[in-house]
C-alpha cells in the first residue's frame, strides 16, 4: 500500500490511495494479501479478465444488468471496423449455437 501511494506522489492523500485500492479490490482488479501486518496489493494479471469484470460492473450499474443494452450502446456510440464487426458476428454465431 505504501509503495503504491509513494508512486502516485503527493497528488493524493494516503487515505485516498487506500480507498481506491479497496474499491479496486472489491471489483476484482487487485488482490490483497492480508497475512502480514501490512496489506499487500497486487494487480490481477489478465487484461481480458479485468475487462470482463469492468464490463460486468458497467452493465450492472448503467444498464440494469443487461449486457445486450451495454453492447448496443457501445456499438451505436462509435463506428466499428469491418474486422470488429466480423468478430461480433462470430461471437453471436457461437452464442446462438450454444443455446
Per-residue pLDDT tens, the chain, 99 aa: give them: 677 777 777 677 888 888 988 998 888 888 888 888 878 888 887 888 888 888 999 999 999 999 999 999 999 999 999 999 999 999 999 999 986
Same structural domain, 53 and 92: yes
What distance in Å separates the CA atoms of residue 99 and residue 94, rounded to the nearest whole number?
9
Please indicate, yes or no, whether residues 52 and 86 belong to a single structural domain of this protein.
yes
Are residue 34 and residue 9 in the same domain, yes or no? yes
Dihedral, CA of residue 47, residue 49, residue 51 and residue 54, to nearest 10: -140
d(CA 92, CA 32): 36
Q: Same domain, yes or no, for 51 and 28?
A: no
Overall number of domains in the chain: 2
Q: What is the pLDDT of residue 74?
A: 93
Residue 16 domain boundaries? 2-43
Mark whether 37 and 78 lie in a shared domain: no
Amino acid at each position: 500500500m505504501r509503495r503504491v501511494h509513494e508512486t502516485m506522489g503527493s497528488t493524493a492523500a494516503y487515505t485516498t490511495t487506500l480507498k481506491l485500492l479497496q474499491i479496486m479490490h472489491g471489483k476484482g482488479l487487485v488482490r490483497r494479501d492480508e497475512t502480514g501486518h501490512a496489506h499487500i496489493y497486487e494487480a490481477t494479471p489478465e487484461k481480458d479478465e479485468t475487462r470482463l469484470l469492468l464490463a460486468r460492473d458497467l452493465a450492472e450499474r448503467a444498464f440494469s444488468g443487461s449486457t445486450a443494452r451495454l453492447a448496443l450502446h457501445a456499438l451505436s456510440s462509435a463506428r466499428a471496423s469491418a474486422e470488429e464487426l466480423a468478430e461480433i458476428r462470430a461471437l453471436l454465431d457461437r452464442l446462438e449455437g450454444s443455446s
